């Protein structure tokens, strides 16, 4: 009687060889090769924390639909306890991932940070209320303040940034950036948690806005879609870490769509207006209007191609683009 040989398909052999190759690759000791689970903050938990924090900042607008609120005192107490527990767990993990302290010390530090962060929520709410007023006062398309809270991406992204900035100021690693990137993904507005933003900040439309880490923005500033507050160059890489790389925008400045303002030494003076598509790499005196002259347009029809009519612009003209 002939003994049957075990047959291993060629595809399975290839998979086993691939497994061996990948496991050997994991042994190289790089950051991407880390195998221990639960050593970094959980993005899904942090996203849930953002939504819970919005229920504290805007209690009547972002509710948990699984239950009704019969007693505000009890419900806010339960909500804050839930936030405190999960946030302190995530901060503990973040501190440990940075290699600081043992588990007990990290947990104790995380609890102090969480308590301090929660104590700043009234300040965040005050700032959010000022942003809401700026949005309503500055946008004729807004039907009500309630509409802005529920639907405007600018207010959402700014509020998340204010929450993240509070943790950034408390030197919490990773979590503020995760929060900012969640808002970026949701709204198309990229605001680094390190940026310092004053009161009555209004982002109109918002898509494509980038505000860098060391940006400083004063009070009553209005920014339209596509604006960049960026660095002149990042070629020096990590040697620029902690260096002022992004511009300062003083009070009462309006920056229209598509403008780019670059450089850590660049200061836009108060009460200035920056027209659409302007590209600025030096400081602007207070009260300055910066405009971009219209490029020549050409119109083609049956009679041939003709340039657009010439137009003389007065010194006070500013070409801006709004919707």
Please write the tens of the pLDDT for every residue from 139-190.
999 999 999 999 999 999 999 999 999 999 999 999 999 999 999 999 999 9
Correct CATH for 38-190 of 1.10.3720.10, 3.30.470.10, 1.10.3130.10, 3.30.70.360 = 1.10.3130.10
Instruction: Give 54-82 pLDDT, tens digit per residue.
Output: 999 999 887 766 555 556 667 888 899 99
Average pLDDT over residues 241-259: 95
Going by pLDDT thresholds of 50, 70 and 90, the confidence category of residue 238 is confident
- 208-323, which class in CATH? mainly beta
What residue spans define the domains of the chain?
Answer: 38-190, 208-323
User: How large a percentage of the chain has pLDDT more than 90?
Assistant: 70
Question: pTM, whole model, 2 decimals?
Answer: 0.86
Among 6-15, 60-69, 128-137, the least confident range: 60-69
SS (H, E, C) the chain: CCCCCCCCCHHHHHHHHHHHHHHHHHCCCCHHHCCCCCCCCCHHHHHHHHHHHHHHHCCCCCCCCCCCCCCHHHHHHHHHHHHHHHHHHHHHHHHHHCCCCCHHHHHHHHHHHHHHHHHCHHHHHHHHHHHHHHHHHHCCCCCCHHHHHHHCHHHHHHHHHHHHHHHHHCCCCCHHHHHHHHHHHHHCCEECCCCEECCCCEECCCCCCEECCCCEECCCCEECCCCEEECCCCCCHHHHCCCCCCCEECCCCEECCCCEEECCCCEECCCCEECCCCEECCCECCCCEECCCCCCCEEEECCEEEECCCCCCCCCCCCCCCC
Q: Which pLDDT belongs to residue 319? A: 54
More confident of the two residues 204 and 12: 204
Average pLDDT over residues 85-113: 92
């Amino acid at each position: 009687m002939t003994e049957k040989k075990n047959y291993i398909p060629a595809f399975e052999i290839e998979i086993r060889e691939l497994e061996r190759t990948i496991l050997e690759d994991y042994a190289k000791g790089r950051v991407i090769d880390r195998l221990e689970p639960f050593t970094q903050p959980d993005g899904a938990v942090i996203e849930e924390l953002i939504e819970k924090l919005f229920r504290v900042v805007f209690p009547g607008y972002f509710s948990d639909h699984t239950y009704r609120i019969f007693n505000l005192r009890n419900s806010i107490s339960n909500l804050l306890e839930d936030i405190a527990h999960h946030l302190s767990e995530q901060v503990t993990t973040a501190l440990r991932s940075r290699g600081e302290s043992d588990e007990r010390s990290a947990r104790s530090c995380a609890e102090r940070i969480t308590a301090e962060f929660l104590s700043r929520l009234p300040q965040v709410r005050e700032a959010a209320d000022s942003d809401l007023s700026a949005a309503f006062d500055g946008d004729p398309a807004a039907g009500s303040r309630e509409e802005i809270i529920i639907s405007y991406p600018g207010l959402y992204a700014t509020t998340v940034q204010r929450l993240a900035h509070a943790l950034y100021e408390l030197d919490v690693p990773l979590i503020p950036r995760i929060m900012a990137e969640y808002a970026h993904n949701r709204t198309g507005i990229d605001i680094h948690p390190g940026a310092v933003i004053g009161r009555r900040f209004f982002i109109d439309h918002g898509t494509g806005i980038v505000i860098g880490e060391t940006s400083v923005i004063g009070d009553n500033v209005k920014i339209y879609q596509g604006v960049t507050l960026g660095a002149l160059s990042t070629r020096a890489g990590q040697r620029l870490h902690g260096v002022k790389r992004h511009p300062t925008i003083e009070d009462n400045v309006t920056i229209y769509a598509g403008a780019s303002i670059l450089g850590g030494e660049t200061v836009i003076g108060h009460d200035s207006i920056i027209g659409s598509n302007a590209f600025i790499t030096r400081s602007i005196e207070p009260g300055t209007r910066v405009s971009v002259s219209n490029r020549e347009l050409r119109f083609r029809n049956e009679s041939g191609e003709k340039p657009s009519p010439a137009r003389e612009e007065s010194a006070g003209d500013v070409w801006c683009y709004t919707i």
